[in-house]
Amino acid sequence: MPIDPVRMNSDELYQILRTRLFEKLPAETTVKEVASGYADSIRKAKLQDITTASPEQFAADVESAYPFHPAIRDLYARFKENQGFQQTRALIRIMRIIVADLWNSGRADSLELVGAHNINLADPEMVSEVMEAEVKAMSDRHKAGAKYMMTIGIFSPTFGIIGAVFGLIATMAHLDDPSKLGEGIGAAFVATFWGVFLANGIFLPIANKLTSMSAKEVAYKRMIIEGVLSIQAGANPRLLDDLLRSTLPPKERGEDERKSA
């Protein structure tokens, strides 16, 4: 079932995360104690001119966001800046990995709120999720550009035909003057030619080129992800080098240079 992006000015985001990630939450009194603790910390920080935040407002934000840190909303807002990124689904996936890591490592017992600062970049699943999300967003941006050029290419012949029809209509107005018929019919054919030429000679080749370049860049990024995850897993450097080189075209592998080194 598709999930629509939630509204930024509501608590719907936290409700979705709570429903998806937790079976049971602490009692309301516990939540209020946590919020009160954060409010006390804000008051102390204000006395030292460290922050201008309102303790009461922050406590209310903690209560509405619990067990997540209110700053999660800021992380979600960042997703909106990334065109093609699945905002709600991506946040659920990332927070699921964070919560699972905190629970499995036992660190959850010492935490009061879960936030983006709890991301464990030593976790291969988290690294893969973040990097794959970037690759997907990049691929979606590329697809949008290629689709735009493809659409222009598809409709270019249509505009050529429309130009030809208008040219023939104008020519029919001079049926009594045979000397102008050739000129009008020629102009109609020129319009058709330009429509077909722009489609098959410019726009469609550009769209195909953009698609091809995007596929190469996605493959390159995924090769980097594979390398990072293999290094993180402690793979043998020589085997990793051979593995990554095997994904490149022979002329780009530089095997002769490696052998001579």
Over the stretch 80-110, which tens digit does the pLDDT of each residue have?
655 555 567 777 888 888 888 888 888 887 8
User: What is residue 78's predicted lDDT score, i.e. its pLDDT?
Assistant: 65
Residues of the chain with pLDDT under 70: 1-10, 75-87, 253-261
Q: How many CB atoms lie within 10 A of CB 220?
A: 12
pTM: 0.60
Distance CA 250, CA 261 (A): 18
Per-residue burial over 132-164, b if 16 or more Cβ lie within 10 Å, else e, is ebebbbbbeebeeebeebbebbeebbebbeebb
199-222 pLDDT per residue, tens: 999 999 999 999 999 998 998 888
Helix (H, G, I), strand (E, B) or coil at 114: strand
Using alpha carbons only, give the angle 152, 158, 163 rounded to the nearest 5 degrees.
115
Bond before 237 cis per omega within 30 degrees = no
User: What is residue 82's predicted lDDT score, i.e. its pLDDT?
Assistant: 57
79: tokens are 């997703």
With tokens 């490696």, the residue in question is 258
